[in-house]
Structure 1
Amino acid sequence: MARTDRCKKLCTCKEKPLDPEKPGGVERIDVDCRPSLLLNIALALQHVLVLSSLCALVVSALIQDVDKERIVAYVLFYSGIATLLQSWIGSRLPLIQAPSLDFLIPALVLLSAQSGTPLACRGQCIEGEEPVAPAHPLRELRGMTLVTGIVQFAVGLTGLSGFALGRCGPLVLAPVLCILGFSIYREAALLSSDHWGMAALAVILLVILSQYLHSFLRLTVFSVSRRLSVLLSVMVSWAVCAALVRWGHVHLTSVTQMLSTVRNATFIQSSNSPHSSDFVFPNDSVPWLGFPLPASALPLLSGKSIAAGVAGGLSASISSPAVYVMAARLLKAPVPPAHACNRGLCLDGMGSVIAGLMGAPLGLCSSVSNACVIGLSQSGSRSTVQLAGVLLLILGVSPQLAQMLCSVPLAIHGAVLSVTYALAVATGITYFQHADVDSGRNIFNIGFTMFMSLALPHWFRLHYSFIQTGVVSVDVLLQSLLTLPVFFVGVLAFLLEHTVSGTLSERGLARHDGTKKILSLADQQQGFSPSPDAMYNPPRPVMKVLELTGLRTVLFCACRSPTVEEVLVTVPEMSSLLPDKDARVGSG
């Protein structure tokens, strides 16, 4: 009841009065709350800008055609569709769907396996021989995207995702979330290296707006600036950078020029990269209106694209449930139940399949950086994410607007990714408090899992010719899996947790006296209710469809909400990144 009352006050009063004992306190906007119209639009635009950072990294690394603006618009358009579906009938969490490293790394391996590249030649190409460009690179990427979506959908439909998540304790979730945050540090540093001054300016502004400014001034405008810290820091840094570029004091490069210096991306060449000013001031020749139409040619399902798609789908099936857990923890909401996790992954797969069939080169999964924005802004309204999905649809039908969005300098993108992904690492660290960190078993499991998940993928990236089975598709599959840190950490943490002996309390678990179920100590017991996870239930029309006899017994049985099930209501004890009254609730 207290949760509902707080939502009503936020919706009607726009801002709840600050706690006098905590001058820096800002009330959290929960999932079912609806902020005021202007604040909601600003928060949605903030999510769109964070998504553009991922889009700038992923799409620019793969596409160097004259149609890159059109491809960017495609990605934004189908991200909007997937976001709306995910928030409506998927996991129901306020998450943005976007391409990620789970798809970028297999795509790079797929392109590097083309004829004439080191991985395909295996050291037997004639010296001086020109690499042979792939005949249909975009079609193969779309084929990989289609297979990725099928794998995601299959994992969610069979219930494997929810089943595995229900058996992941703190010592599994903590390493996965930490590596999920660390997995992009190299790419974030690469983008920031375009101009460290601009990156430092964006980071400093973001830290001041989100952590310092509210502590000195208790006016409402400063609490709003904390909610919009990412938006304001990006806009100010972008304006400063645009002015310096116009006056000739700053010279920027493209992401393809920087990636061409990396050994694992030697296949990317950009002999006619745009001038640096094109990344700040959009090109007027790009059309304002261009509705994403179905691609004229079907995706190319070669052995290599299928192998890369399987690798990307398996990695996304690990990272997406981890993002669900992280978002719920930042929202102080109950841990997502199995049916919500399965539905969410099914919707991830459907979004990837639609994107691949319609012309996008990469699949979609829940965005880590957008989930971390919830912690920075303390605003996790579902309506905000749905409005962001609508904005993505509008950007998707206008290549000019899409290019304008992605013209944010790469250094600022790197700063945004650095700060947001850092919150994923911090959220993972909070899970260690629930286990016995002095246990020798846990010390070994944590250290071995996290070190190997960073070291081995880096080694395999540097020695891409190490895997030579004689079958290119098998090489692509193994090379993709072995260079994905999230896949490594998920498999290692789960295996060690369930094979190395240890007591329940040592592992951060406890057996409930009434139900005899093994529960995570990260979730505090509060009571039982027939429907404690109502926020994860889909709308009533969707529930009625899932209740049909055929679907209930054959299809989507893992995605259906239980009618009456004794489930524990949980209150995560993680302290909010922004202090509020709920943070003082007892931790025992």
Structure 2
Amino acid sequence: MLSLPEWKCPEWTLNASQVNTSSPEFTEEWQKRIRELQGTIMVASCVQMLLGFSGFIGFLMRFIGPLTIAPTISLVALPLFDPVSSEAGIHWGISAMTIFLIVLFSQYLKNIAVPVPAYGGEKKCHTSKFHLFQAFPVLLPLCISWFICFMLTVTNALPMDPSAYGYLARTDTKGNVLSRAPWFRFPYPGQWGLPTVSVAGVFGVIAAVISSMLESVGDYYACARLVGAPPPPKHAINRGIGIEGLGCLLAGAWGSGSGTTSYSENVGALGITKVRLPTWCPRTPHTHSAHAPS
């Protein structure tokens, strides 16, 4: 929606070093885009709630299968290649190292138990085996990569010129963000002003909602399979889609700039980390029949 010509950023906002982010003109430029997103998300979320709570998604389940979901998820993921490549291109060495560590920890070191200090039980202070790489296959590589970037920043191995390649890999480029952020902030509905609605924006977001619903159906089945649960019934899928629509309505009212949906990456993380809620199955007591002696 924001790629339409009417929402193209003005020329004077393209150079971040020459923009006063606290000026009323700049504030109005980004807030009016947020208000447009708010209105379109709220209207489109009503359509999603209608399709979910009415049971229409359950009716369509007979037509939704792997041949429908797989191309849809692929098409949804295609636009992500451009931002991913631009973000990773900040420093391809750091990006490649992070990807390598994630694959190494999640696929090859996941069964290796690392001794860690523990306390409790009869032994009090002792060491216990912990599958560190299986529990933190993504967080651990990110921490390692950040620490390496920090060391390269301290030693000035990374360039200090903002226009040089690799400058954005430094850990001090946005050091003032935390100092400028308020300690406490309470969001509320309409905090950016009265939401606005346009027909083009509504139809664009509805198209995204339809693809999101198809992706969510696939996520439900994939998540159930990973945790060893039976496939979700139609009424559960209807409720899930309806609740996602309700979440989008609240997100639009609060002005978050995006909706809420089930995330395929989280399902993938579930498969990598194997971290899930344990299921408890009560045991059925065995009954024994006693025969009286004749």
TM-score, with length taken from structure 1: 0.37
CA displacement, residues 225-262 of structure 1 (integer Å, 9 cap, x when unaligned) = 212111111111122123323433335999xxxxxxxx
Shift of 1:191: 1.7
State how far apart, in whole Å, the 2-side matches of 1:251 and 1:349 are: 46
Aligned match of 1:240: 148
Q: AA paired with 2:153?
A: V
State how far apart, in whole Å, the 1-side matches of 2:228 and 2:74 are: 19
CA displacement, residues 530-569 of structure 1 (integer Å, 9 cap, x when unaligned) = xxxx9xxxxxxxxxxxxxxxxxxxxxxxxxxxxxxxxxxx
Shift of 1:152: 1.6
State how far apart, in whole Å, the 1-side matches of 2:161 and 2:238 are: 41
Aligned match of 1:364: 260
Q: Note if contact 2:216-2:261 (Cα within 8 Å) is conserved in structure 1.
A: yes
Aligned match of 2:2: 108
Q: AA paired with 2:246?
A: M
Q: Note if contact 1:374-1:380 (Cα within 8 Å) is conserved in structure 2.
A: yes
Q: Percent identity?
A: 28
State how far apart, in whole Å, the 2-side matches of 1:159 and 1:252 are: 58
Q: Note if contact 2:58-2:238 (Cα within 8 Å) is conserved in structure 1.
A: yes
State how far apart, in whole Å, the 2-side matches of 1:135 and 1:300 are: 11
Aligned match of 2:133: 225
Q: AA paired with 2:7?
A: Q
Q: Note if contact 1:146-1:352 (Cα within 8 Å) is conserved in structure 2.
A: yes
Tell whether 2:133 aligns with 1:249: no
Give 3-state SS (helix, strand or coil) of 2:172's partner: helix
Give 3-state SS (helix, strand or coil) of 2:134's partner: helix
CA displacement, residues 297-350 of structure 1 (integer Å, 9 cap, x when unaligned) = 221112233233322222222222122222223223222211111111111111
State how far apart, in whole Å, the 1-side matches of 2:145 and 2:173 are: 17
TM-score, with length taken from structure 2: 0.70
Give 3-state SS (helix, strand or coil) of 1:329's partner: helix
Q: Structure 1 residues 192, 251: closer, same or farther in 2, change over 3 A? A: farther
Q: How does 1:88-103 map to 2 (within 5 A)?
A: none
CA displacement, residues 338-369 of structure 1 (integer Å, 9 cap, x when unaligned) = 11111111111111111111222121111121
Q: How does 1:200-215 map to 2 (within 5 A)?
A: 200-214=96-110
State how far apart, in whole Å, the 1-side matches of 2:160 and 2:230 are: 45
Q: Note if contact 1:146-1:309 (Cα within 8 Å) is conserved in structure 2.
A: no
Aligned match of 2:287: none
State how far apart, in whole Å, the 1-side matches of 2:220 and 2:110 are: 29
State how far apart, in whole Å, the 2-side matches of 1:221 and 1:206 are: 21
Q: Structure 1 residues 177, 293: closer, same or farther in 2, change over 3 A? A: closer
Aligned match of 1:330: 226
Aligned match of 1:100: none
State how far apart, in whole Å, the 2-side matches of 1:237 and 1:156 are: 42
Tell whether 2:212 aligns with 1:316: yes
Rg comparison, structure with higher value? 2
State how far apart, in whole Å, the 2-side matches of 1:374 and 1:253 are: 40
Q: Which runs of 5+ in 1 are unaligned?
A: 1-106, 118-132, 255-272, 384-533, 535-588
Q: AA paired with 1:236?
A: I
Aligned match of 2:179: 284
Q: Note if contact 2:69-2:214 (Cα within 8 Å) is conserved in structure 1.
A: no
Shift of 1:376: 0.3
Q: How does 1:514-525 map to 2 (within 5 A)?
A: none
Q: CA RMSD for the aligned pairs? A: 3.4
Shift of 1:283: 3.2
